[in-house]
Structure formats: structure tokens, C-alpha cells
Amino acid sequence: MQATKINQGPVIDGLLNDAAWQGVIPATGFIQNFPNVGKPASQHTEVRIVYDDEAIYVGAYLYDDSAMIRRQITARDEEQQKDLDYFSVFFDTYKDQQNGFQFLVTSSNVQTDARLAPNITTGFGEYGDKTWDAVWESKVTIRSDGWVVEMKIPYLSLRFSKSEVQSWGLQFLRSVRRNNETTFWNFVDPQVNGFVNQFGVLHDLREIKPPLRLSFSPYLSTGIRNTPERDGYRSEWLKSGGMDVKYGINESFTLDATLIPDFGQVISDNVINNLTPYEVRFDDYRPFFTEGTEIFNKSGLFYSRRIGAAPTGYHDVNDLVAGNQDLEVVKNPGRTQLYNAIKVSGRTKNKLGIGMLNAIGAPMYAVVRHKTSGSETEIKTESLTNYNILVLDQALQGRSYVTFTNTNVLRDGHGRDANVSGLDLSLYDKNNNYNFRGYAHYSKIFGPGSYDGFNTMLRAGKVSGHIRYFAQNIIRSVNYDPTDLGYLQTPNQVINTGSVSYNQFNPTKHFLNQTYSLSVTQSSLFKPGNFTDLTIEASAFWYFKNFWDVTLRASYLPDQHDYFILGREVDQYARRPQYGALGLGGSTDSRKRLFFSYDVLVADFFKNPEKKYYVIEGGLRYRFSNKLTMELSHRYETETDYIISAGRDGMNRPRIAFVDLKDVSSVLSGIYNFTPRINLTLRMRHYWSNVDIKRVAYVDGAGLPVNQVAYTGIDNVNYFNADAFLTWDFQYGSRLILGYKNWLGTDEIVDGMRYKRYIPNLGQALSLRHGNELTVRFIYFLDYNKLRK
């Protein structure tokens, strides 16, 4: 497409009657990506693009029968699997075939935006990281012969070089929901690996100058929190104020800073009763650490929840008070306050991406009161800490790249410091059929008992076409430790994997598409090289012509030597039984008002027929109207004779325990959209874990239990959380949020001996004391360019 420059931008009213649009040759001829790959689009589409010194404008006329247009209202960035049509434009502003921007508008004028990068994995119909939010304008009108989208995307929301004449990668997408049709202006072939590399081109953008990108988002937040304690409730007045700042250092690089950040209004974590020796990984919902951070996540060395996490001494204070009736908590912050956090990111005209992130965590203190004397004691729970990340990411020819990453954590005083460096490489052949990937990461821990380690990966395979395959090797040394700013379940492993798949993307007599795969994974210890496990997995996926899908899975584990359940410093293992498992999952047609998904897993233990394991999971979603949708999901997992750690005896010898466990999780959620910019969301989660301890044992040299002793004990865990948010985006980039949270008090216990079933446990969990929090938050977006005018 040839770019057209104008002197006066159009009014964004969804009418396309401005002089700016006249005489511009439209893009047409969209081609199906799904369901009928390569066939012409069923509906005609015309898209025009113009630009001026301030922004780029997109006008799309999407011809259709107006009575057939699906128009459900959703929250921002939530268009997938909803009953709506949408249109999207994509830009690859550096034309590196790897990175880009997406701007999407639904038939109800709800916006979605995303950053595209090669390291971002997305689901069906999604193409980038939606946690990134930009400020841009859109308007939709419904006509008798279709619907119209008009968009204004200011250069403030894009990154590009300062060249006098530029060409960008360009792509248009249209989704027609009633027949699940996805079409692209430039054909996107599902047999070809990659997405941005299949864009068209917008030629001859002339004399566009990046503006002074300077914006401020000051915020005020206040509220009240009531937390149940042993002797009643503790009430706190929550108050906070701060500001987010974005500053364009030059045409390509942007500085993002958050001053005195407040991350209170995020949904609660899905906490579980963790019976494994591995740390649970939680998602991050804090905008500063999710928006535009794809470059920092490229090597997998950044786990943003480390920054601003619970102080390391938080639980020690609670345990101290719980063990002394004369003590009570006056203050014990559950999150580390940040003084500030900044990130700088961008890409040069030579396609070198640079990212720097720095955050400073404040020292944290708890206050404990002695009831008898009334005196108070201050206890330090976290040291002043500096977190830093540096990333250099060079895009090479085609889709290849090389990335250097360094993470560094420095703590005040004699605390532990850490440094991790990594080099990642990905190479594609000129036809984009084959790929070689690899990385080498090195960690160094400083302080008392300092140590270092490494982690490497090599992977080669075929990534395009019907038949795809790869072979992969991962090595983690005994002392590899990136966990000060990254995440790792366990070091000391060698993992070898081979996989092959057949992918049919063209419709056949019964299926729209189908995939069959087989993989084998063998693991051992890095030192001393002992075998740990072997897994053989096969799966088949079918997408039927009625838009239902089914996945069938089969796996076989002939032997498992678990060296980690007894503690990583122990040179012993527990032998888990041989088993095979069958899984069946799928979902119904998501276009319907009632949508159902399911997943069932059943295991057969060949040498222990009395042992049982199965998982049943299901979800229901019902769309009551274009404004109201509710969802209910339920997961039930049970296993008999599951092996967990039983700690150590008086002689410091490790033990295992055999338990019968039940884990149940239920989530009820819903959203009511008053308008495209005002919505109320609700999410309630109850989690119940019942662990019935049967016996305790030691293990012999073959990992088998010896000296078994009967044991009776119940570990009964209940978690309950409710989150509700009323959000009003009253102006582009500005919003008002009213939030409510409710949770089961941490010291509230349900008697596991009396209540051994899920429903009674839920009833008791609801009747016990709960904490609650009500907050209001006001954020206002200020663009320097508009303030100057």
C-alpha cells in the first residue's frame, strides 16, 4: 500500500466523509486464515490509511448485513471468544519481521492493543501481549450495509526511526463472528511459522517526526482495610498518591517511571496448598511490570513478582506472635513498598533493542506490642534492595535474533547479592523452515557461602509445514540459581526431549483442522548423573466443522526417581510408581450463549492397582445479554498414596509420608458492561485441600519405603477470595476504579475431622471471619503536547 500524507486529519466520528479520505485507494481482497485457509473472504472490506505530522489514521468500511453484525460489549482487551465482530491493524514500524504493534476495535467500539514480539506466546486469535495499553482514538458506526471503523493512532503511541522516508510492515485483520471467519489483507499461512514475517508493506511514509513523548498519569488512592486477628479486627486507613511518567528520550526510546507506586487494586492470587518441593509461580497483574516488558522477558530470567514481594521476615513475625500470648501485631506489611521503578526500552534504526529496568524496594519493618507492658518493638523484615535488568536484543536477517540479558540484585548491609547473565540465540534458514535455538545462562551469588552455576539449552528442528519436529537438550548445574530476580523450580537437571507433530490446517470432510503429536522426555541429575524419569506423551487435536473441539492425550511414565522431595542436599530418592494416563478435553461452540469446556484425566498404576488418581475439570459460561456474562469453573483432583515430604526425624534423617489428597477449586466470575467504557467485574474463588496422612516411612537405597509407621492426621486448608471492581474509563488514558476485596482470615481454620466434604467446608469457610477492603483510585492522563497547546 502506498502511504498518503494529508494536511488536515479527519474528525474521528466513524463516518469517513472527511476530505482526507477522498481519493485514497483502499486495501481490499482479504483472504481467509480460518476456517477455509486461502479462500477469499466471504464479506467485502475496504481499508484506507492516511497520515499527517501528528498521527496515522485508519478508516475501514466492513460491508455486511447490519442485522447479522455481532455486537457484544466487553471490557478492554477482552474480545476473544465473545459474540462480536472486530477489525484490527498491525504495524511493524522497524520492518524487522519480529516486533510490532496491534490496534483493534470491536463492533461496539471497545479497544484492544498489544505489543508483538517473537518471544510472546498467545492463544488462538491472539497475536501479542495485551497487557500493554496505549492512548489512541476510535469510533464505530453501524450502517445498513455494514459497519465503519475510524481510528487515530498518534505517534505518541508508536516507536519508529527518524528516517526521512520509511516503509513499515502492515497488516489488516477482520473477524466475522457468526461463521468464525478470520481474514487478512496479506495472506497469513498457518503452515508458515511466525506472524509478523507475513505482513504486507506500507510504502513511502515521508517526513514523519516522532513527537516529544512526554505524559504524566498522577493518581490518588484511598480506602479502608479490616483484617481479622486473634483478638478482633485491625482497621487500617489506606492512603497513597503517586505518578507514572512516560518520556521519549529520543525517537525510539522511552523512559517509564512509577513514583511511589501503589499496586493494591489487582486481583487476588490463586493460592494453593503446595505439597511439592517447588515454588508456586503466580501471574503479575501490576501494569508497570506487565506493560511493554516483552524485551525483559525474552530470556526467561525475569520474574517480576520478586519486586515488591512479601518481606522475607513477614511470616517470622506472624509465627513469633502466634507462639506468645503476650504479643500482638501492630503493623506487619504484607508487601514490600517500592520507592520507585523505572524502565527504558526501545529499538534503534539498526534493529538493536535495548531495555533497562531498575526498581528500589524500601526497607520494611513490623511493629509488635507487648500487652503487659504496652511497649512496642520494631522488627526489620526486609532490607533496602536494588533490582536491575539490562537487555540487548539484536534482530538479525529474517526472524533470527541474538539477545544478551543481565539481572542484578543488591541488598543493603550483609544481605545476599546476586547476578545472572545470559546469551540467547535463535537462527532461521532463509525459507523459514528450520530453526536452531540455544542459550547459556550463568548465575553468581555473593555473600557468605557464595556459589555459582550455569544453565544451557540447545534446540533444533523443523518449524513450518505439515510435519514439524525438534530435538532439545537442557542442562542445569547443581548450583544454578536465578531466583533473586527470576524463577526456577529446581537446578541439577539434564533434560532431553524429542518431539514430532503432524498439522493439517486445511478443512477435510469432518474437521476444520487437526494436529497429532508424539514426544519423549528423559531426565536425569546433572550430578551424579542418576536417572530421574522418562515420559512418553501422545496427543491428538480435532476441530470439528460445528466449531466444537476435542483433545485426546495419552502418557506413560515407566519409572520416576524423585530426588527433590527429600531435599536437594540429600543424595537419596523416593521411587514413585509406574503409571499410564489418559486425558480427554474439549469445548463446545463458543459463539453460543451457553459455552462449556471440560478436561478429564485418569491414571492407571500398573503395579499398584489400589492406587487411584484422576482430575475432573469443567467450565460453564452463559451470555445473558450483550452486557452481562457469567462464568463458573470447577476443578476436582484426588490421589491416594501420594508421596510428600515428612520432614526429618530427631536424628535429622529425611522421611516421606503417604497421603490421600483431595484438591477442589471453584471460581465464579462475571462482568456487566454498562457502556464500552464502564464495567463491573466480579470474581469469587474458593479452594479446598484435604490431606489425609496415612503413614510415614524412610526410604532405602532403591527409593522404596522402609520402616513404615501408621499415622493419623488431617491437613485441611481453605482459601476464599472475592474481588469486585467498578471501572470507568472516563477519558482516553484516565480512569476511576472502585474496588472491593474480601478474604478468609489467615488464622481462621475449618475443622478437617468434622468437615471432610467440599460443600460443608465451603459453608464453614463462609461463616468464619473474613477480611475486607474498600478502595477508590483516580488516575488522570496528561499529554504534554496537549498541555502546551
- Cell numbers of 149, please? 471503523
Determine whether 340 is exposed, middle or buried from the number of CB atoms within 10 Å of its CB (0-12, 13-18, 19+): middle
Looking at the structure, tell me whether residues 190 and 216 fall in a common domain.
no
At 185 the pLDDT is 98
Predicted confidence (pLDDT) at residue 589 exceeds the cutoff of 90:
yes
Rounded to the nearest angstrom, the gap between the alpha carbon of residue 577 and the centroid of all alpha carbons in its chain is 33
Looking at the structure, tell me whether residues 81 and 218 fall in a common domain.
no
Looking at the structure, tell me whether residues 168 and 253 fall in a common domain.
no
**pLDDT tier, 747 (very low <50, low <70, confident <90, very high otherwise):** confident
Average pLDDT over residues 250-261: 83
At 120 the pLDDT is 72
Looking at the structure, tell me whether residues 121 and 239 fall in a common domain.
no
User: What are the pLDDT digits (tens) for 486-520?
Assistant: 999 999 999 999 999 999 999 999 999 999 999 99
**pLDDT tier, 642 (very low <50, low <70, confident <90, very high otherwise):** very high
Any residues with CB less than 8 A from the CB of 430 and at least 6 apart, and which? 398
Average pLDDT over residues 444-462: 95
At 517 the pLDDT is 98
Looking at the structure, tell me whether residues 184 and 92 fall in a common domain.
yes
Average pLDDT over residues 6-12: 94
Looking at the structure, tell me whether residues 420 and 450 fall in a common domain.
yes
**pLDDT tier, 262 (very low <50, low <70, confident <90, very high otherwise):** confident
Looking at the structure, tell me whether residues 251 and 351 fall in a common domain.
yes
At 405 the pLDDT is 97
At 72 the pLDDT is 96
The model's pTM:
0.89
Any residues with CB less than 8 A from the CB of 169 and at least 6 apart, and which? 90, 91, 92, 93, 95, 97, 100, 196, 199, 200, 201, 202
- Cell numbers of 426, please? 535463535
Looking at the structure, tell me whether residues 181 and 229 fall in a common domain.
no
Predicted confidence (pLDDT) at residue 263 exceeds the cutoff of 80:
no
Predicted confidence (pLDDT) at residue 121 exceeds the cutoff of 70:
no
Looking at the structure, tell me whether residues 347 and 473 fall in a common domain.
yes
At 64 the pLDDT is 97
At 349 the pLDDT is 84
Q: Residue 108: give its domain's CATH number.
A: 2.60.40.1190
At 287 the pLDDT is 79
User: What are the pLDDT digits (tens) for 301-336?
Assistant: 999 999 988 898 998 998 898 888 888 888 888 889
Q: How many CB atoms sit inside 10 A of residue 657's CB?
A: 20
User: What are the pLDDT digits (tens) for 537-554?
Assistant: 999 999 999 999 999 999
Domain limits at 171?
Answer: 19-206
User: What are the pLDDT digits (tens) for 356-390?
Assistant: 999 999 999 999 999 889 899 999 999 999 999 99
At 299 the pLDDT is 92
Looking at the structure, tell me whether residues 243 and 383 fall in a common domain.
yes
Cα gap 115→128, rounded to integer Å = 5
Domain count, the chain: 2
Of the candidates 684, 692, 543, 567, which has an alpha carbon nearest to the alpha carbon of residue 180? 543
Distance in angstroms between the alpha carbons of the first and the last residue of the chain: 33
Looking at the structure, tell me whether residues 113 and 241 fall in a common domain.
no
Determine whether 421 is exposed, middle or buried from the number of CB atoms within 10 Å of its CB (0-12, 13-18, 19+): middle
Percent of the chain with pLDDT over 70: 99
